Amino acid sequence: MKTILISYFSAARSLGRPGILWHLMWPTLVASVVWTSLLVMNWGALADLGTHFITALPLVGGWLASSEGALLVALVMFKIGLVMLALPMIYVTAAFLVAAVALPLMLERVAATDYADIARRAGGSQVGSVWNALTSVLQFIVLLVLSLPLWLIPGAGLLISLLLTAWLNQRAFRYDALMAHADKFEMKALPAEQSSGLFGVGLLGAAMAHVPLINLFAPALSGLAFVHYLLSALRVARQRDNIIEVN
């Protein structure tokens, strides 16, 4: 736990680097504008779709259609559900932008000062970063859709959201954190060795994503924490294995 907290303290300290703060903010702002605009522009059509869906429900659909008050309550719940569903989609979109664009740029600034002693072995690439981010997001969406029935269990929605977001964080950000410095073997071996710690870093980032205002910075701050966690671990691993750094 101490190493996880140190990673986030280091990430917060990195915000003082030139250009870092902007990359912390813009992915969530862009994602929020995109999904809010889509929701507003399609609100009427979504409301009509909700009415059709509710009245077509087996067993209770006919009763809801015949009761104006019950239909209104059900429709309000449907609209609240749409808004709630938009929140993870905003985070997912922001996480994709962080992993594919913002984090590689932040990594260059942070690594140049905090990890200049670690040789760059370039086990990853920008193309690999985008591909990893895209596949991570798609897998997350599939898992989210499959878990939707469980959200009907009281309290299960929050737990599932935390676990899935933690999984997305570590799956999306670990590649970017290592791609410039680790070789291809280290790209695979180090995350496997540090799997429990990486999930802890992702889980803390997931918890931050559920706190108002802080959630605006959560994806990028979590990504920075992964950079510090994994590059520190890479430094220790090479020292442990007596690897001579050649810059």
Please report the pLDDT score of residue 67 as a whole number.
66
User: In terms of pLDDT, which residue wins out, 18 or 117?
Assistant: 117
Mean pLDDT of the chain: 82
**Tens of pLDDT along 133-170?**
899 989 988 988 888 777 767 777 778 888 998 999 99
Query: Could you tell me the pLDDT band of residue 247, with boundaries at 50, 70 and 90?
Result: very low
Please determine, for residue 28, whether its predicted confidence score (pLDDT) is greater than 70: yes
Please report the pLDDT score of residue 246 as a whole number.
46
Q: How far is CA 120 from the centre of its chain?
A: 26
Please determine, for residue 229, whether its predicted confidence score (pLDDT) is greater than 90: yes
Query: Could you tell me the pLDDT band of residue 234, with boundaries at 50, 70 and 90?
Result: very high
**Tens of pLDDT along 71-103?**
677 777 777 777 777 777 888 888 888 888 888
